[in-house]
Structure 1
Amino acid sequence: MSAATCLLSQEDLLCSICLDVFCAPVTLLCGHNFCKNCITVNWRVNRKIQCPVCKKRFDTSHELHVNTFISEVAGQLRQSAAKNASEEAKPGEVPCDACTDIKLKALKSCLVCLASYCDTHLKRHLTVPGLKRHKLVEPLDNVEDRTCTKHDEIMELFCKTDQMCVCQFCTESHHKTHDVVSLKEECTGKKTELGKKEVEFQQMIQERQQKIEELGQSAKLSKEAADKEAADGVEVFTGLTELVQTGLTELIEQIQNKHKTTENQAKDFIKELDQEISELMKRIAEVKLSGSKDHFHFLQSFLALNAALPVKDWTGVSVHQPSYEGTVARAVAQIKETLNSVREKQPAAELKRVQQFAVDVTLDPDTAHPKLILSDDGKQVEHGDVQQNLPDHAKRFSYCVIVLARQSFSSGRFYYEVEVEGKTKWDLGVVSESATRKGQIISSPEAGYWTLQLRNADEYVALADPDVLLSLKSRPQKVGVFVDYEEDLVSFYNAHTADIIYSFTACSFTEKLHPFFSPCVNDGGENSAPLRIAVVHGHFI
C-alpha cells in the first residue's frame, strides 16, 4: 500500500467538488471520483444524475459504492498530514535542518554533520554504515556554535576561571587547572542569581514607576501653580493697562477741554469783531452816499453816522492761554498713587499664596537644649533657669538654647508661623540635618543655618554672613517661615502685615531641613515669653 501511495500525489486525492481529501470516495461509471456526500448533494440540488466533470448522464438506478482502495489511500494521506502538523517544530523547539518546506521537530543532532534531523531525515544516520559512526546527541539549536572549534566536540562544560564554555578535551589541556563545572550546574547557579536580580529589577522598576508618578504629580502641581500665577499676572497687568489707558484718556480729555475753552473764546471775539467790521463797512457806504448837495440831508446823515459808530476798545482784549504745566505730571502722580495702592495689596496675595503650603510642625524634645521647656503638645518652647538632667546624645544641642522640629523636608515647599509677641530676642529659621549641634554655633548658610534673629527688642538681623541689619516698618508679632527646596529659597514674613522681612536665595540645599527655634535666654524675666507655633489661618489684619 505504501508503494501505491507513492504513485499518487495529494492532488490526485482531492474531490473536485469540495476540493478536500476524499471522504468516503465513490467512483462513477465514467471513472471520475467524488466524496459520496458531495456527489449525492450535487445530484439532489441540480436534479440531474450526471458527472459534474464530464457531464455523462446516468439512470436513477445507478448505485454509489465506496472505492475502498482510494478511501484507504486518502485516509493515509490525512494521517500523514496530521502527523506532520503535530511534528512541526514549534517556537522554542529545534527544527530539522534538512526539511525544505515545513520544518519538522528534530529528534537528534549530529556533532559530525553539525546539523539536526527529524525522524525521516535521521533514518540515513541509523542505516548507512558510514553515517552510523557519527555521534548523535539530543537536539541542539545552532549545533555549530555549540561545538568546540579546536576539538570538534560539543561544549558541555563551563570554565568559571575564564568564563567560557569548553569541551571535555579543553579541560585536559588549556583549562586543566581551572575551575570547571557542568553547564547545568553553572546554569542553576546563574538562574538563582538571575532570580535575585529579577527581584532587584522589579524593585527598581517599582521605584522608577513611583518616581514617574511623583514627577508627574510635581509637573501637574507646577502647571497648576504656573497657570494660577499667570492668571493672577494677567489680571494685575490687565488692571494696570486699563488704569494707564483710563489715565491717558482723562489726560487727553482735560487738555482738549482747556483747548476748547480757549478756542471758543477766540471764536466769540472773532465773531464780535466781524460784526463790528461789517457795521463799519456799512457806515463807509453811507458816508459815500451822504456826499449829496442837499446840505440839510448831509448834516442829518453825518450826525446819525457818528452816533452809530462802535465804541469798544479792543486794545487790551486777548485770548487767555491755558496753562498745561504739570498736567502730565499730575496724571502720572495719580497713576502712581493708584499703583502704590495696588502694590500694597500684593504682599497679602503673596503671603496667601505661600500659606497654602502650611505644614503641621511640632518640637522634637530629643533635640532640645536641657534648659528649654517644651509644652506637652510640642507647640511651645521657653527658656528655664534650671538645667534638666537629659541624655546628651548626638541630636541634642549642648550649648546654644535651640530646639528643632520633629519634621524634616527634602523636597517641595513648606510654611509655618511662630508667635513672637512679648519677646525681646529670638532666632528662627531652618537648619540642615548634619549641621553642628554641639558647642558654640555661628549661624550662617555655610554652616547649614538659614536664620533670622531679634536682639534688643527692635534689632532684626539676617545671619547671612555677612549679617544683614534689617529696617522693618512694624515690629512683627507673628513670623512666617517659607521654604522652597527646589528653588533654594528661605523667606521670612510678618504674618500680620504680610510684608516680607528677608529672603535667603541660592541656598543650594543638599539634605533634609528641620525648622529651627530658639527663644534665647529669659534675661531675668525680660525675655520670658515663649515661642509658640501658630495655626495658619490665612487671614490678615
Structure 2
Amino acid sequence: MRTPVLISEDQFLCSICLDLFTEPVSTPCGHNFCRRCLSHHWDTSAPCRCPLCKELFHIRPELRVNTLLSGLVSQFKQEAGSRSLQQQSRHMVEQRRQKIQELQSSVQLSQRAVDREKSTGLQAFSALIESVQRSRERFIQELQEKHRHIQTQAEALIQQLKQEICELGHFLQHCPALPPTGLKDWSSVRLKLETFEGTAARALTELRETLTDEVDKELQAKLKRVQQFTVDLTLDPGTAHVKLSVSNDLKQVYESTRRMFRDSPQRFLWRNILTKQSFSSGRFYFEVQVKDKTMWTLGVAKESVERRNNQNSLTSKYGYWCLDMTNIEEYFRAPQKVGVFVDYDEGLVSFYDADTADLIYSFTDCSFREKLFPFLNPCYCDSGENSAPLILTAVKKCSLSLARPS
C-alpha cells in the first residue's frame, strides 16, 4: 500500500512574489516561477539569470507553462478552498452551539431570578393577606360584639317584662278588683342602640395603615438585601470635566467657577466624572448624597461612552443608565440620598430613596457587554443655587427611616 505524499503550500509558492503560482513556467535549470514575475524580473535583453540559482542564460529561454505544476497548483487551490469552507462550516456550527448554550444559560439565569423574586414576593403577599384576614376578622368581631351587647340588654328587659306579666296575671286572678301597684312604667324604656356607621371605614383605615407598615417593612427588607452588595468607591479626577472640583478624599464633586484641570482625551465635555472602580459581572450598590441640590444626574455608564461629544445624551441609547433631578420632580418627593443597585448579569439598574427605602425607578432587561463605571454629574452651579456637592457616602445599613411626607 502506497504511503500518501504530504504536499505543503510552500511547494507551490513562487520565490519572487512569494504567492501561489500563477501560470507557472520552468527555466532550463529546472526552477519554476510565475510567468508574469519572471517576465518582469528579466528585461528584454540577454543574458538572463535564474532568480533562484543565478545560472546564466546567454540566450533568453522561451517560457512555457509547466502543465504538471499548473495542474497540481489548481488541485491544491481547490483542496485548500474546500478545507477553508469546512473550517468555516465547523466554525459556524461551533458559534451556533455556543449561542444555544448562551441562550440556555440566559433562561436558567432568568428562572433563578424569577424563583428568588417569587419567593420574596410570596412572603410579602402572604404577610399582606394575613393582615387583611386579621383586619376582616376584627371588623366582623366588632360588629358581632356590638350586636351581642344590644341583644343582652334586650333579653334582660324582656325577662323583666315577662316577669311582670306573670305577676300581673297572678294578681288579676286573686285580686281582680284592686288596681296593681309598684309596677314599672315601660313607656319610656328604649334600647340604647349602638351605631354601626363608620365601622367599616375605621376598619379600612386601620387596614390601610397596617398594609402601609407591612409594605414599608418589605421595602426596607428589600433595600437591606441590596445593601449587602455595597462597594467602596472613589472618584477618578482623570476623567472629570475641567471645571469640576474634586475633594481630597475623592468622595465629593461640584462645579467650580474656574478650570480645575487641563483638558485631555480622557475627560468629559459634559460635567461628568467616573469612579476609579469598574464592574463587569455580579452585583454592586452605592449611595450618593444629593441634599441641597436643585440639579444632578447619577448612575452607571459603559466604558466606551463618548467623552468628547458635547451633544451626547445621557440615555441608555448612548451607554448611560441614570437618574436626574428632572425625573425626580415627577416623584412625590425629592430624595436626600439616592441608592444605586446594579445586577450586571441580570441587566438591572435600580434607584432607591435611601432614607425611605422607596424604589424610584428601575432599568430592566439591559444588555451589558463591557465594563460599567459609576458616574456622577453635579450639573451647573446655577449662580450658587446648585453649588452643593454630590457625595459618595458610606452606607448605613440599619438607619432607614420609614417616615413619609404628608
Structure 2 counterpart of 1:241: 129
Provide the secondary structure at the position in 2 that maps to 1:245. helix
Aligned residues: 336
Q: Which residues in structure 2 correspond to 1:396-411 (within 5 Å)?
A: 396-398=267-269, 400-407=270-277
Name the amino acid aligned to 1:470.
E
Name the amino acid aligned to 2:203.
A
Is 1:250 aligned with 2:129? no
Match of 1:430 among 275, 287, 300: 300
Name the amino acid aligned to 1:272.
Q
Distance in 1, matches of 2:196 and 2:385, equals: 61
Structure 2 counterpart of 1:517: 376
Distance in 2, matches of 1:524 and 1:408, equals: 33
Match of 2:163 among 253, 271, 275: 275
Is 1:230 aligned with 2:118? yes
Distance in 1, matches of 2:248 and 2:104, equals: 38
**5+ residue gaps in structure 1?**
1-106, 108-137, 141-175, 289-301, 454-459, 463-467
Whether contact under 8 Å (1:497, 1:540) holds in the other structure is no
Distance in 2, matches of 1:187 and 1:329, equals: 88
Q: Give, in angstroms, the shift of residue 351 of structure 1.
A: 1.9
Provide the secondary structure at the position in 1 that maps to 2:221. helix
Is 1:452 aligned with 2:323? yes
Provide the secondary structure at the position in 2 that maps to 1:482. strand
1:478-518 per-position Cα deviation (integer Å, ceiling 9, x unaligned) = 32223456776543322233233x32546865764543212
Q: TM-score, normalised by structure 2?
A: 0.63
Larger radius of gyration: 1
Structure 2 counterpart of 1:369: 241
Distance in 2, matches of 1:201 and 1:252, equals: 69
Distance in 1, matches of 2:331 and 2:92, equals: 57
Whether contact under 8 Å (2:300, 2:373) holds in the other structure is yes
Whether contact under 8 Å (2:241, 2:267) holds in the other structure is yes
Distance in 2, matches of 1:198 and 1:377, equals: 56
Structure 2 counterpart of 1:540: 399
Is 1:180 aligned with 2:75? no
Moved more, 510-519 or 195-204: 195-204
Is 1:260 aligned with 2:130? no
Structure 2 counterpart of 1:28: none
Distance in 2, matches of 1:488 and 1:200, equals: 29
Match of 1:313 among 185, 199, 203: 185
Distance in 2, matches of 1:428 and 1:336, equals: 34
Distance in 1, matches of 2:366 and 2:109, equals: 22
Distance in 1, matches of 2:279 and 2:259, equals: 30
Q: Give, in angstroms, the shift of residue 411 of structure 1.
A: 6.6
Q: Which residues in structure 2 correspond to 1:367-516 (within 5 Å)?
A: 367-374=239-246, 379-387=251-259, 390=262, 392-393=264-265, 395-398=266-269, 400-407=270-277, 413-421=283-291, 423=293, 425-432=295-302, 433-435=304-306, 437-445=308-316, 448-453=319-324, 460-462=325-327, 469-473=329-333, 475-476=335-336, 478-484=337-343, 490-500=349-359, 502-503=360-361, 505=363, 509=367, 512=370, 513-516=372-375
Q: TM-score, normalised by structure 1?
A: 0.50
Distance in 1, matches of 2:164 and 2:260, equals: 109
**5+ residue gaps in structure 2?**
5-66, 401-406
Structure 1 counterpart of 2:221: 349
1:291-342 per-position Cα deviation (integer Å, ceiling 9, x unaligned) = xxxxxxxxxxx5xx44x54532222233333321112221222111211222
Whether contact under 8 Å (1:276, 1:310) holds in the other structure is no
Whether contact under 8 Å (2:128, 2:214) holds in the other structure is no
Distance in 2, matches of 1:428 and 1:179, equals: 68
Provide the secondary structure at the position in 2 that maps to 1:241. helix
Whether contact under 8 Å (1:436, 1:447) holds in the other structure is no
1:93-115 per-position Cα deviation (integer Å, ceiling 9, x unaligned) = xxxxxxxxxxxxxx7xxxxxxxx
Q: Give, in angstroms, the shift of residue 261 of structure 1.
A: 2.2
**Cα distance, 1:250–1:382 mapped onto 2, change above 3 Å:** closer
1:389-430 per-position Cα deviation (integer Å, ceiling 9, x unaligned) = 64532x4223x3222235555776543222345655433223
**Cα distance, 1:284–1:364 mapped onto 2, change above 3 Å:** closer
Name the amino acid aligned to 1:271.
Q
Distance in 2, matches of 1:376 and 1:192, equals: 62
Whether contact under 8 Å (2:273, 2:375) holds in the other structure is yes
Structure 1 counterpart of 2:403: none
Q: Calculate the aligned-residue CA RMSD, in Å.
A: 4.6
**Cα distance, 1:187–1:322 mapped onto 2, change above 3 Å:** same
Work out which structure has the larger RCO, using CA pairs closer than 8 Å and 6 or more positions apart in sequence.
Answer: 2
Whether contact under 8 Å (1:445, 1:507) holds in the other structure is no
Q: Which residues in structure 2 correspond to 1:327-338 (within 5 Å)?
A: 327-338=199-210
Q: Give, in angstroms, the shift of residue 249 of structure 1.
A: 2.3
Structure 2 counterpart of 1:92: none
Distance in 1, matches of 2:365 and 2:121, equals: 27
**Cα distance, 1:266–1:518 mapped onto 2, change above 3 Å:** closer
Name the amino acid aligned to 2:297.
D
Distance in 2, matches of 1:355 and 1:221, equals: 21
Name the amino acid aligned to 2:189.
V
Percent identity, aligned pairs only, is 37
Name the amino acid aligned to 2:71.
V
**Cα distance, 1:535–1:222 mapped onto 2, change above 3 Å:** farther
Distance in 1, matches of 2:203 and 2:258, equals: 65
1:268-291 per-position Cα deviation (integer Å, ceiling 9, x unaligned) = 222222222222322333258xxx
**Cα distance, 1:276–1:485 mapped onto 2, change above 3 Å:** same
1:105-145 per-position Cα deviation (integer Å, ceiling 9, x unaligned) = xx7xxxxxxxxxxxxxxxxxxxxxxxxxxxxxx699xxxxx
Structure 1 counterpart of 2:40: none
